[in-house]
Amino acid sequence: RVTKEVDAASKEAKSFMKQQEKTQSGAPASLPTVSGVKRPSGMSSLLGKITSKKQKMSTLEKSKLDWENFKEEEGIGEELAIHNRGKDGYIERKAFLERVDHRQFEIERDIRLSRMKP
């Protein structure tokens, strides 16, 4: 069993709450008696809980969970965040490539516009 704390306003928390509502609303209601009073369906609800399918974890979710646990155990979360923000980080490289692509587009656009004017 995995325990994870998330912000109540996050997407993950909202999806979890929706899933909990579906499982609660999908549970079989107890059967009414002849007098109209509901009686607890002890054995059938117990069997329903036992035979209910467990939610499968995808490979991607499992890998993410393993990576988060590894970062927590090794205490490298801050170090990774600092490195990714640095000159050699992935995010910085993507931003650089976007800036270069935008400049190249502007240069090509200016050339096209200058050719169009008679």
pLDDT for the residue 2: 73
How far is residue 30 CA from its own chain's centroid? 35
Confidence of residue 97 (pLDDT cuts 50, 70, 90): very high
* Separation between Cα atoms, residue 3 and residue 48, nearest integer Å: 24
pLDDT for the residue 70: 92
- pTM reported for the whole predicted model: 0.32
Beta bridge partners of 32: 38
pLDDT at 95 over 80: yes
Q: Render pLDDT for 11-22 as a digit per residue (tens, 0 to 9).
A: 777 888 888 887
Q: Which residue has the tokens 């994870």?
A: 4
pLDDT for the residue 32: 47
Of residues 45, 47, 5, the one with CA closest to residue 24: 45
pLDDT for the residue 41: 61
Phi, psi of 28 (to 5 degrees): -65, 135
Q: Residue 10 corresponds to which amino acid?
A: S
